Amino acid sequence: MKVLANDGISKSGIELLEKNGFEVDLTKVAQEQLPKYINKNNVTVLLVRSATHVRKDIIDGCNGLKIIGRGGVGMDNIDVDYAKSKGVNVINTPAASSKSVAELVFSHLFGCVRFIHNSNRDMPLEGDAHFKDLKKSCAGGSELSGKTIGIIGFGRIGQEVAKIAIGIGMKVLFSDKLFKEQEINIQFFDNQKVNFKLTSSKINFLLKNSDFITLHVPATDKYLINKKEINLMKNGSGILNLARGGVVNEEELLIALDSKKLSFAAIDTFENEPKPRIKILMNSKISLSPHIGAATLEAQDRIGIELAEKIIEILK
């Protein structure tokens, strides 16, 4: 049986599949050519990440497909219900990248409160001639310890964010429709562990009482953070979107940054991905990354293995 990993798969995932009798094809096939390629090469399993979209046309045009796999959490680029109605298994890897995304949240957050995202832009241009001015402009940063982080969406990623936040002395608020109460287990390098029990807050309470807000929710058909929600936030607070483009109204975000209602934002996922709007890219109050939440070697290794294990379980 042949597996087409159209957006790639880790070496460990390939090795596990091949060990169990699967042939892995790493060809990058253009979106419009996928049905023809899948049928011509008798592909049984199609693996994608965020780049490839698997819509009804591909599902209808590829009768030999038995599994569609998404390396990652969100599956908004796959017509999941339609695929299942046609008898095609749809799998993803919800746990594999949680730690990587959570660590990127704090990469952005530490950078923003200490103006690292700005100094990395300005130092190469002006560091030799205006060192003292840059030093002054980057002074007045703040510590995260003692501050409150509000986590909207408390699945696996949100919980990993909470663990890091607790570890550095932050207060944690979370809001989630599925969880009223959640116990967080933090394990340390020497096998010690600590449990924290957290209770869900109403989203308006979270917005009003958080110094920083981070979003970890699925794709939505309307903004979760719009003008109304931004107005509820603390003056001078910051917001991070490493979830999905379209969760935050970027136009309202720009207005809030320009008016100093918000002090900063961090964005890894964009409304107009893969062509983010220029105003977002050029705004000095926004810390930017190109949708790399799950893009660590460790996460990709776990994703590949988890996909391989699920494929083997279903087909073997």
The pLDDT-based confidence of 227 (bands split at 50, 70, 90) is very high
Read off the pLDDT of residues 255-271 as tens digits, 9 standing for 90 and up.
999 999 999 999 999 99
User: What's the predicted TM-score (pTM) here?
Assistant: 0.89
DSSP state string for the chain: -EEEETT---HHHHHHHHHTT-EEE-----GGGHHHHHHHTTEEEEEE-SSS-B-HHHHHH-TT--EEEESSS--TTB-HHHHHHTT-EEEE-TTTTHHHHHHHHHHHHHHHHTTHHHHHHHHHHHTTTSHHHHHHHT-S---STT-EEEEE--SHHHHHHHHHHHHTT-EEEEE-SS-SEEEEEEE-TTS-EEEEEEE---HHHHHHH-SEEEE-----SS-SB-HHHHHHSPTTEEEEE-S-TTSB-HHHHHHHHHTTSEEEEEESS-TTTTS--HHHHH-TTEEE-SS-TT-SHHHHHHHHHHHHHHHHHHH-
Share of the chain above pLDDT 70, in %: 100
Q: Which of 23, 103, 251, 273 is catalytic?
A: 273
| 114-163 pLDDT tens trace | 999 999 999 999 999 999 999 999 999 999 999 999 999 999 999 999 99
User: Averaged over 40-44, what is the pLDDT?
Assistant: 97
Q: Which fold is adopted by the domain 98-288?
A: Rossmann fold (3.40.50)
Catalytic residue among 244, 250, 252, 306: 244
pLDDT of 305 higher than 90 = yes
Q: Which CATH superfamily is domain 2-93+297-315 in?
A: NAD(P)-binding Rossmann-like Domain (3.40.50.720)
Q: Is the pLDDT of residue 316 over 90?
A: no
pLDDT at 95 over 90: no
2-93+297-315 and 98-288, same CATH topology: yes
- Tens-digit pLDDT profile for residues 193-207: 999 999 999 999 999
Active-site residue flag, 244: yes
Mean pLDDT of all residues in 227-237: 98
Assess whether 271 carries a catalytic annotation: no
User: At residue 105, does pLDDT exceed 90?
Assistant: yes
**Ranges of each domain in the chain:** 2-93+297-315, 98-288
Examine the residue annotation and report whether 216 is marked as an active-site residue of this protein: no
pLDDT reported for residue 267: 98
pLDDT at 74 over 90: no
Q: Which of 49, 70, 216, 291 is catalytic?
A: 291
Residue 34 is predicted with a pLDDT of 96
Position 94 scores a pLDDT of 87
